[in-house]
Structure 1
Amino acid sequence: MMAYTKGDWCALGRNIHLTPVTVHPGARCTAGVWTELWGEWASFNLEVIDPDTWTYIALKSITQDWIHGWELQTVSWTAQRADVVLRFAVGQREPYWHAAQVDLDDVVVQCAY
């Protein structure tokens, strides 16, 4: 999967139902994705969002100035609700000649209680 932008930002997201949370509120959850972020002034967000209020439950942000290779990005939170939105956003902090792009692979969401 890939997200690409030239001068602004782009996001991909999906609704996720965290099965153990209804039976075990307060479960500790982690979302992870392998990323290859590239482009001048590129930024990437790994976001977990409350779909009712559209506010962040958890957020991991990274920035870089050119290709850095594949890296595992993770974010953790204590689950208070079973339904969340998992979103990946790529942007350019300073729009310039080159676009920002993130390649995504092996997305995993898991919870433990």
Structure 2
Amino acid sequence: MSAYTKGDWCALGRTITLTPVSIHPGARCTAGVWTDLWGEMAQFNLEVIDPDTWTYIALKSITQDWVHGWELQTVSWTAQRSDVVLRFAVVQRNPYWHAAEVDLDDVVVQCAY
């Protein structure tokens, strides 16, 4: 899967259900995705969002300038709710330069209690 932008940002996401959280509140969760980010002044966000308020529960942001290669990105949080939005965003930090793109693979969300 890929997200591409020229001059702004692009995001892909979906609501997911963390099944152990309703029985075990406070479970420790981690989301991970392999990324290949490229483009001048490119930024990638791995976001976990509260779907009621659209505020971040967890956020990992990385920046890159042309150098690219596959890297594992992860973000962790203590789950207080069983439904969250998992979103991947690519941002062009300077809209007057080249495009930014991120290729995504092998998304995993795991919770332990």
TM-score, normalised on structure 1? 0.98
Count of matched residue positions in the alignment of Structure 1 and Structure 2: 113
Moved more, 92-101 or 29-38: 92-101
* Counterpart for residue 88 of structure 2: 88
Structure 1 gap segments, 5+ residues each? none
Moved over 3 A (4+): none
Amino acid at match of 1:2: S
Match of 1:5 in 2: 5
Aligned-residue sequence identity (percent) comes to 88
User: Which sections of structure 2, spanning at least 5 residues, go unmatched?
Assistant: none
Matched residue, 2:18: 18
> 1:18-52, CA deviations, whole angstroms, 9 ceiling, x for partnerless residues?
00000000000000000000000000000000000
Match of 2:106 in 1: 106
**Counterpart mapping for 1:28-47 below 5 A:** 28-47=28-47
Backbone CA RMSD of aligned residues: 0.7
Any idea what the Cα deviations from partners look like across 1:63-113, whole Å, max 9, x if unmatched?
A: 011132000000000000000000000011112342100000000000000
